[in-house]
Amino acid sequence: MRSLLFVPADRPERFTKAAASGADAIIIDLEDSVAPANKAKGREAVAKFLQSPCDVPVIVRVNPLDSAETARDLASVLPNPPAGVMLPKAEGAKSVERLAGMMDGAAIPILPIATETPAAMFELGSYREVASPLMGLTWGAEDLPAAIGATTSREDDGSYTSPYEMARNLTLLAAHAAGVPAIETVYPDIKNTDGLATYAARGRRDGFTGMMAIHPAQVSIINEAFEPSEKEIEQARAIVDAFAKAPDAGALQLEGKMIDRPHLVQAKRLLHRAGEAA
């Protein structure tokens, strides 16, 4: 999943448009984007939408486990299970297993938002112990500063301050330690397309495999950033071919540069993302 597009649960007229946006998945949100008075309306809309097939995977973001809303959210989606459930304010493996236990035996993959509380930061390493299926791991830069009384998570130039850069980095590593996709958080400045392109490219460079979007206009930019270029694919093929011809070699020269086994691992992973057998 390169791109995952949020859509509010109480705006059902947007569901089909979101699914047709080019996003690899849509996230129908029952949490932050839906006012308390509209939660029931949102659940009804989600339940109705899930009754029909959708061209892309549908993920439903439920409300946090410490609310009274989670069980009601699940009751609305379990009759026609979505492709995944996003869990906000997750605090490690215990939160995931607790949510899984509320699903009446349905093995729906869970996508935790892993950094939204102070306690969550100390549980990131536990996701590799989760027995329930994980769809991936993602993070957020808005709830944590609110939880600890910070005035902002960003510098004047838009970059993260050190606590939130740490949260991002640890989520990235925790996802890979658990063997699941690392999903970059949203870019809130919708009109700043150049900034989004730079941010998404940075995410892919650092090891994220996809990114969340908050507007359909962001989808194509994110998809392009997380799609391997033809040049990268050709380079990966060359690395794989070089080691195929010298299977016992630990290191080789390719185009005047040294390559070794980590380069081979990276090349195979890139080809896998591009849909090619290595």
3-class secondary-structure state, position 194: helix
Both tokens of 216, joined, read 């359909």
Distances (CA, A) of 201 to 132, 216, 236: 31, 18, 18
Q: How far apart are CA 268 and CA 275, in angstroms?
A: 11
Who's near 118: CB < 8 A, 6+ residues apart?
144, 147, 148
The residue type found at 157 is D
Q: Which residues contact 140 (CB under 8 A, 6 or more apart)?
A: 113, 115, 116, 185, 186
Residue pair 268/240 in contact (Cβ under 8 Å)? The answer is yes
Q: What is the pTM of this model?
A: 0.88
The percent of the chain in helix, strand and coil, each rounded to the nearest 5, is 45, 15, 40
Question: What's the distance, Cα to Cα, between the start and end of the chain in Å?
Answer: 20
Per-residue pLDDT of the chain (278 residues; tens, 9 = 90+): 999 999 999 999 999 999 999 999 999 999 999 999 999 999 999 999 999 999 999 999 999 999 989 999 999 999 999 999 999 999 999 999 999 999 988 999 999 999 999 999 999 999 999 988 999 999 999 999 999 999 999 998 889 999 999 999 999 999 999 999 999 999 999 999 999 999 999 999 999 999 999 999 999 999 999 988 778 788 778 888 888 888 877 787 888 788 887 788 877 877 887 776 55
CB count, 10 Å around CB of 264? 19
Q: What amino acid is encoded at 62 in this protein?
A: V
Return the C-alpha torsion angle 11, 15, 18, 19, nearest 10: 170
